[in-house]
Structure 1
C-alpha cells in the first residue's frame, strides 16, 4: 500500500480554547485572561492555549503529507466534542488509526476515509481525529495523482473544475476598531464577526450591539475604496435570545430593526439564540427565517451552535432553518463530510459557509480552502487565529494560487481536446 509509516507531532493551535459556559454567566476579563472557575468539563481555566496534533503519512516515495487535529474555540458547548487532549488523541490514533492507515489505498480518497473512520468499540471516532486524518489522506491522494486537493475533491464528487473565487469572511476578535479598519482597507468580502459573547458587549436591549453595527457600516463608507460593499456578519453567541427573550417573533423584530439601521447592506446574524436542543433550534430558527423572508428583510440567519455534524446540517438545510449554515470544519469531522455538507446545502438551496475556528492551523486552513473552492461554497472563513492579516493572507493566497493552477490545468485540457479533435478530422 502507499502508506508505509505514520508520524505524530504535537503542536499548537492559532488561538485559545475558551469555556463558553463560564463566559456566558459573566466571567470578567483581566487583560487577556478570564477570571473565575471554569464550568465546562476538561477546562483547568476559562481560557486555555489551543493545542493540536499533526499526523504525517509517510508514502512509498518517502514523501510525508500532513494533517492537523484540534478542537474549536468553544469546545464542549452546544453539543460539541470535549476539549482536545493531545495525550488521549495520540494514544487513540496510535492504537486504532495507524493499523487502519497502513492497510488502505491512499489513492482512492473517499474509499480510504470510509475504511479508516469505521466506528471503534461501537462509537464514532473523535471528530478531531477524523478532521486531521482526512486532511492527511486528501494530501496523500493529491500527491499520488499529481493533482491539487481541489481536483481530488472534484473527481471524487463528480464536480467540474471551479473558476469562481469564494468570498472570504474575517473575524476581528476583541480588537474591533483596529481590525475592522484592517478588513476595510484590505476590502474583505464579509466582516467583522464582532465577538458579541457577553452581556456587556451586547448591551441592554442590544443597544451596544446595534451601535457597533452602525459604526461598522459608517466606517466602511468613510475609509473603504469606491465601490467596496461588504456583507456585514455578526456572531452574537445567542445573546439576542438571552436579552430579548426566546420568542421567534421578538427575535425577528429585533433583527429587522438592526438591518433597518444599516440600509443598503446585507446583514448576517449568526447564532441569534440558543433554544436548548438541535430540534428546538431547527423549529424556532425556521420560524425566524420565515418571518424575515415574509418581511423582505435584508437580514440573514446563520446557524452555528447545535448544528455540528453532517446529519445536523442535513436537518437544518431540509427544514430551511437558516439562510446560511456554518459548516464548522473540526465539528463536522472528516473534511470529506465538509464537502458533502456544502453540496447538501446547495441541493436544498441554503447558503453554505465553510467555517471553522480560530484555534486551527495553517494546514487545516489550506485544506479547507480546497474544499471550499472545489464545492463552490458561498463563503469561507479566514483562519486560523484572531488576527486579520495572517488569516486573510493564508486563506486568500492559497485560493489565488489554487485558481491559477486550476486555470492552467483547464487551458491545457482544452488544448489537448482541440488537438485530439484536429487529429481525428485529419484521419
Structure 2
C-alpha cells in the first residue's frame, strides 16, 4: 500500500458555533483526498493573509512533497520551525507634554493636565507558529495519516499512542456548571467544572476562603437534588487560594480540608491552588500533606501545562494533569504528554477549547477514547457525548 504525498496546504475562512471568525486547514494529498483541521484557540491569527504568511514560512516548507505517514512524523517536519512576523510593541513613554490652554481657559483658572504619550513601533519577531494554527494543522495531519493507512481516526490515535491493543471504553465526561443545568445533560456527565473568575482574590473567594466554601457547599447541594449520580466537583481556583493564604502550606491544607467537607459526598478536585514563583515552593509539601492527611481531594495543574517539559515538572508537584490540547499546538506533543502521565500513573483531564467545532470535538473525543483519560472535558459536553455514543455503537456492532 503506497502512502499518498502531501501536494499542497489550503487555508479557508470558517465560522465557529458561536458565529465568530475562524480558520480551517486542508492538506491535499496526491490521491485527491483533503484532510481538514480547525484552528481553535486564543491566538488565532486575525486575518487569512497573516495566517497564510506564517504557514508559508513553516508548515508548507516542511510538508510539501512528503508522505502522510504518521502524526508524529508529519508534525516533526514543521513543529520546530519559526516564522518572522511583524508585531507592534510599546517603547519607553515620551517626555510628558502639557496641552496648550486657550486664553479663555487661562482666565478661568484652567489647570492643564499632563499628557504622557506612549510611542509604539513595529518590530519583526522570529517566533513559533501560533498554537491555534499549529493545532489546526496537526488535526489535518492526523486525518491525513488515518486516510493514508485506511484507518478510522480512533484507530490512528491508538497507533500514535502505542495503545492499539487497549480496549476502548466510554470515557467519563466533564462539563462546565453553566452548561450542564438541563437534567438530560447532567445525567450523562461524571464531573462538573467551575472556574473562579480573575480579579481580587479576597473579594472573589473571601479573605478566609469562606465565599468559595459556601459556593462549593451550594453546588454540592444542588447536584445532590438534581443529578442521578454523584458527579465529581472540579474547581479551578486560578491561584486565588495561594494568594489569600500567602502560600503557607499549613493554612492551605486547612482550607482544602474545609472545602472537601463542604462538598461531601461528592469528590473534589482543585485546580491551580497556587500559581507563580511561590507555587513551586509550596506545592510539593502541600501535596505530601494532603496525602498524609488522607484527604480525597486531588491537586490539579492547568495553567502551567502547555508543553511536555511543563508536564514532567508538574509530576513533582501535583496529582492530576489538566491538558488543554490547543495550548500544546502540535497534537503530537499532547500524545507525548499523555504517554508521560500514563507512565507515571497520573490521571489526566483531556480538555478542549470553548470554541471547538463539531469536527474538532469529534477528533478530540476519538483521542479520548484511544487514550482513556480520567475525564474528557468540553465546555459543551453534548458534542463529546453524541460522538462517543456513535463510536461505541460502531465498535460494539462489529
The answer to whether the Cα contact below 8 Å between 1:7 and 1:56 also exists between their aligned partners in 2 is yes
Given the alignment of the two structures, is residue 55 of structure 1 paired with residue 53 of structure 2, yes or no? no
Q: CA deviation at 1:181?
A: 5.3
Query: What TM-score do you get using the length of structure 2 for normalisation?
Result: 0.80
CA distance in 2 between partners of 1:144 and 1:83 (Å): 28
Asked whether the equivalents of residues 7 and 65 of structure 2 are also in contact (C-alpha less than 8 Å), the reply is no
CA separation in 1, counterparts of 2:376 and 2:80?
A: 29
Q: Which residue matches 1:101?
A: 63
1:85, 1:264 → 2: CA distance?
46
Match of 2:138 in 1: 134
Ranges in structure 1 where 5+ consecutive residues have no aligned partner? 16-48, 73-81, 384-390, 412-427
Map of 1:322-341 to 2, 5 A cutoff? 322-341=318-337
Partner-residue secondary structure (3-state), 2:151: coil
1:162 to partner: Cα distance = 3.1
**Alignment match of 1:163 (pick from 144, 164, 168):** 168
Checking the alignment, whether the CA contact within 8 Å between 1:332 and 1:338 is kept in structure 2 is yes
C-alpha change, 1:189 and 1:57, in structure 2 (3 Å) is same
Partner residue of 1:304? Answer: 302
Structure-2 change in CA distance of 1:402 and 1:212 (3 Å): same
Check if 1:363 corresponds to 2:325. Answer: no
1:356, CA displacement in angstroms? 3.2
Aligned-pair CA distance for 1:218: 0.9
More helix by share: 1
Q: Check the 8 A contact 2:306/2:328 in 1, yes or no.
A: yes
Displacement of 1:92 in angstroms is 0.4
Output the CA distance in 2 between the equivalents of 1:192 and 1:182: 16
Q: C-alpha separation between the residues in 1 aligned to 2:313 and 2:21?
A: 31
Asked whether the 8 Å contact 1:162–1:376 carries over to 2, the reply is: no
2:374 is aligned, of 366, 374, 378, to 378
Deviations 1:362-398 (A, max 9, x none): 3332222122211111111124xxxxxxx22211112
Counterpart position of 1:212: 215
Q: Secondary structure at the match of 1:116?
A: coil
Compute the TM-score of the two structures, normalised by the length of structure 1.
0.75
Q: 1:25 maps to what in 2?
A: none
Q: What's the CA shift for 1:183? A: 7.4
Counting only pairs closer than 5 Å after superposition, residues 209-288 of structure 1 correspond to structure 2 as 209-225=212-228, 228-276=229-277, 280-288=278-286
Give yes or no for contact 1:66–1:135 (8 Å, CA) kept in 2.
yes
**1:339·1:372 contact (CA, 8 Å) conserved in 2?**
no
8 Å contact 2:271–2:301 — kept in the other structure? yes
Deviations 1:19-65 (A, max 9, x none): xxxxxxxxxxxxxxxxxxxxxxxxxxxxxx96532101122343322
Report the secondary structure of 1:368's partner residue. helix
Q: 2:382 aligns with which of 355, 375, 393?
A: 393
Answer yes or no: is the 8 Å Cα contact 1:282–1:316 preserved in 2.
no
- Greater gyration radius: 2
Closer, same or farther: CA 382–310 of 1 in aligned 2, 3 Å: same
Match of 1:403 in 2: 392
Find the counterpart in structure 1 of residue 8 from structure 2.
5
Residue 112 in structure 1 maps to residue 78 in structure 2 = no
